[in-house]
């Protein structure tokens, strides 16, 4: 008998745990249909960015008014007033409408706000258009030396609880790993109202262009090497917090997905590998998962889930700091081998 791959995430019963996460691929209806065709159990749409919406609206506003009412021959400005600008979240809402209309699988929206009012306003808007669940993509770079980690954490928690109060949707919170106490933070996020945690979001990071000496932020596709950080925290959090856990970052093949499930993930999410290989890659990963479970005589994903979490391994310390030291010692370098010291 084939292993049962089904899982539950944010109250949604899914036939298997390999979910396409937010990426440019999920921002286009044709690709969404292709993903569904490839067997995606649900999709997470790209984030609705409040900052971008505001930026675009203000750009339209200032652009339309630029040069207007300044010169007698052109008091009406220099660009034609359009019937519609699709400013605000209209594009995004249109995508949701289309996705809900065309897809049979659950549609999870993602939101990145910048203001308190923005988070709740857009969360409500997304709830109204009928998404199945909401992922809050929270990212805040605290650059002010006077801002404490406590301040930062409070901001996260307040916005989660405000959105929680505003909507009844299943709510996942996607955060980064950069908290002094990730486990505590995870627990408090759940207390604030998160039904699930998504580990972890990846951001644009600055890079330098050595020709122009300019900072050029960009986002590189992930590699399987990035799995480790998620794997660790998945294993640590599994069984310790009362929320669904989604793993994203570094899932490229069935191998990473299996590891994350063993660490405790309810779903594993993919973006980079799909962008590289196309929607059909999803089927390969699912097949690989199934095959591994079958070969290793697992009945189901549920059986395997968390079996290698910190609570369930004989050496819990393997996930803690000592592990770091050991890995250094065990690191083997060709260069060191070729250049022995006396």
Partner 1 sequence: MADFGMVDGNEAAARIAHALSEVIAIYPITPASPMGELADSWSQLGKANLWGVVPDVVEMQSEAGAAGAVHGSLQVGALTTTFTASQGLLLMLPNMFKIAGELTPAVIHVAARSVATHALSIFGDHSDVMAARQTGFAMLASTSVQEAQDLALVAHSSTLRSRVPFLHFFDGFRTSHEVGKIELVDHDLMRAIIDEDLIAEHRLRALSPMHPVVRGTAQNPDVFFQAREAANLYHEAVPSIVKAEMDRFGDLTGRRYELYEYVGDPNAERIVVLMGSGAGAARECIAEMTSRGEAVGALIVRLFRPFAVEQFVEAIPATVRSVAVLDRTKEPGAPGEPLYQDVVTALAEKGRPLPVIGGRYGLSSKEFTPPMVRRVLMELDNPEPKNHFTVGITDDVTHTSLDVDPEWHEPADVVRAVFYGLGSDGTVGANKSSVKIIGEHTENYAQGYFVYDSKKSGSRTISHLRFGPRPIDSTYLIGEATFVACHQWTFLDQIDVLELAAPGATFLLNSPFGADEVWNHLPGAIQRSILEKNLDLWVVDAHSIARDVGLGGRVNTVLQTGFFKLSGILPVDDAVSAMKSQIEKTYGKRGEVVVRRNVAAIERALEALQRVQIPASATNELAPITVVPPEAPDFVQRVTAMMIAGRGDLLPVSALPVDGTFPTGTTKWEKRSIAHEIPIWDPEICIDCARCALVCPHAAIRMKVFDKNHLPDGLPSKGATGREWDGMLLTIQVAPDDCTGCGVCVDICPAKSKEVVKHKAINMEPKLDHLEVERQRFERFETIPDPDRRTVKLDTVKGSQLITPLFEFSGACAGCGETPYVKLLSQMVGDRMVVANATGCSSIYGGNLPTTPWTVDAEGRGPAWANSLFEDNAEFGLGMRLAFDAMEQDARLLVTALAPELGQLAVDILDAVQDDEAGVIAQRERVAEMRTALATMDGVLARRLEGVANSLIRSSVWIIGGDGWAYDIGFGGLDHVFASGRNVNILVLDTEVYSNTGGQASKATPRAAVAKFAAGGKPTGKKDLGQIAMSYGNVYVAQVAMGANMTQVVRAFAEAEAHEGVSLIIAYSPCIAHGIEMATQMTHQKEATDSGYWPLFRYDPAREADGEPGLKLDSRKPTIPFKEFAAKEARFAMLARANPSHASELMSRAQQDIDDRWHLYEQMVTIHRTAEYADVEE
Residues at the contact surface with partner 1, assessed by CB under 8 A: 53-54, 56-88, 91, 121, 213-214
Plot region of 309 (φ>0 → left; ψ -120 to 50 → alpha; else → beta): beta
**Distance separating the N- and C-terminal Cα atoms of the chain:** 59
Smaller CB separation from partner 1, 68 or 219: 68
Query: Cβ–Cβ contacts within 10 Å for residue 287, how many?
Result: 12
Tell the smallest beta-carbon distance from residue 72 to partner 1 (Å).
Answer: 4
CA dihedral 177, 131, 82, 72 (to 10 degrees): -50
Instruction: Provide the token pair at 212.
Output: 């122009």
Nearer to partner 1 by Cβ, of 54 and 153: the residue is 54
Query: Is-contact 142 44, C-beta < 8 A?
Result: no
Considering the complex, what minimum distance in angstroms separates the CB of residue 212 from partner 1? Answer: 9
CB of 73 to partner 1, least distance (A): 4
What are the Cα distances from residue 207, in Å, to 155, 215, 216? 28, 6, 5
Tell me whether residue 72 or residue 328 sits nearer to partner 1 (CB atom).
72
> What is the closest distance, in whole angstroms, from the C-beta atom of residue 31 to partner 1 in the complex?
16
Distance of closest approach, residue 201 Cβ to partner 1, in angstroms: 24
Least distance to partner 1, CB of residue 34, Å: 19
Taking each helix axis from N to C end, the angle separating 90-102 and 29-37, rounded to the nearest 10 degrees, works out to 30
Would you state the structure tokens that stand for residue 58, as one six-digit string?
A: 């203000």
Question: What's the number of CA atoms in the CB half-sphere (13 Å) around residue 136?
Answer: 37
Cβ at position 74, least distance to partner 1 in Å: 3
Nearer to partner 1, 28 or 255 (CB): 28
Compare residues 2 and 61 and give the one whose CB is closer to partner 1.
61
Give the position of tokens 């979910």: 19
Distance CA 256, CA 26 (A): 21
Which is closer to partner 1, CB of 77 or CB of 177? 77
Assign 237 to helix, strand or coil: helix
**Encoded tokens for 54:** 């505001």
The nearer residue to partner 1, 95 or 243, going by C-beta atoms, is 95
């Amino acid at each position: 008998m084939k292993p049962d791959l089904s899982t539950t995430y944010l109250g949604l019963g899914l036939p298997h745990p390999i979910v396409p996460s937010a990426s440019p691929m999920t921002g286009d209806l044709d690709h969404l249909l292709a993903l569904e065709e490839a067997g995606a159990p649900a999709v997470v749409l790209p984030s609705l960015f409040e900052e971008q919406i505001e930026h675009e609206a203000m750009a339209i506003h200032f652009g339309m008014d630029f040069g207007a009412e300044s010169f007698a021959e052109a008091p009406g400005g220099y660009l034609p007033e359009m019937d519609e600008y699709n400013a605000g979240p209209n594009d995004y809402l249109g995508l949701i409408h289309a996705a809900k209309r065309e897809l049979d699988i659950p549609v999870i929206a993602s939101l990145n706000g910048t203001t308190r009012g923005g988070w709740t306003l857009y969360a409500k808007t997304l709830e109204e258009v009928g998404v199945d669940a909401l992922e809050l993509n929270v990212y805040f770079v605290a650059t002010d030396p006077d801002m404490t980690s406590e301040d930062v954490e409070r901001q996260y928690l307040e916005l989660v609880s405000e959105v929680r109060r505003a909507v009844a949707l299943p709510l996942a919170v996607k955060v980064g790993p950069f908290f002094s106490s990730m486990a505590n933070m995870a627990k408090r996020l759940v207390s604030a109202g998160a039904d699930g945690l998504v580990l972890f979001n990846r951001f644009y990071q600055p890079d330098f262009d050595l020709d122009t000496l300019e900072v050029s932020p960009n986002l590189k596709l992930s590699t399987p090497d990035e799995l480790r950080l998620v794997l660790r925290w998945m294993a640590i959090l599994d069984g310790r917090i009362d929320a669904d856990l989604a793993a994203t970052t570094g899932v490229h093949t069935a191998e990473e997905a299996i590891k994350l499930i063993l660490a405790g993930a309810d779903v594993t999410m993919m973006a980079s590998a799909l962008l590289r290989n196309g929607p059909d890659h999803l089927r390969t990963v699912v097949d690989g998962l199934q095959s591994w479970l079958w070969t290793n005589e697992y009945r189901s994903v549920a059986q395997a889930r968390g079996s290698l979490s910190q609570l369930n391994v004989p050496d819990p310390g393997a996930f803690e700091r000592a592990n770091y030291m050991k890995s250094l010692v065990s690191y083997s370098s060709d260069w060191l081998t070729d250049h022995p010291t006396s």
